[in-house]
Amino acid sequence: MQNYFDFYVIMAHSESKRAIKKVPNVTEECITKVVDYKGRWPKPSYKARLAFVDVKGQDVAAKQQVDAVMQTLPKIPGVMYHVKYHARD
C-alpha cells in the first residue's frame, strides 16, 4: 500500500501575469497571486496549477507521465515550471 495516496502537481510560476496567461489551458480563474513582503516593497508573483498526476502505487509510471507532461509545456520567457511531490501516507 505504499504510495497509495501520493501525487504530483505541476505548477507554472511567473512574476508577470501576462506571461503566465500564455501557458496553454491557463485561465484567469486558475491564476493565484502571491505577494512577497521580504524586500523593501511588496513584490507580486503569479502561479497556476497545470496538471495533477496520481501515483496509485506505481511511482515509475507516474514519473514517466510527469515527464511527458513537462515535455509538452512551451518555453515562455519569464515562466518557470515546477513539479511538487506530495506524500500522503
Q: Which CATH number covers residue 36?
A: 3.30.70
Neighbours of 68 (CB within 10 A): 11
Domain residues for the domain of 78 are: 7-86
Summarize pLDDT for 4-59 with one digit per residue, the tens: 678 889 999 999 999 999 998 898 999 999 999 998 999 999 999 998 888 876 66
Claim: this prediction has a pTM higher than 0.85: no
Give the Å distances, CA to CA, from 78 to 65, 70, 74, 81: 25, 16, 12, 10
- The C-alpha angle 82, 84, 87, rounded to 5 degrees, equals 175
Residue 2 belongs to a domain? no
How many angstroms separate the CA atoms of 75 and 56, rounded?
30
Query: In the chain, how many domains are there?
Result: 1
Summarize pLDDT for 70-79 with one digit per residue, the tens: 899 999 999 9
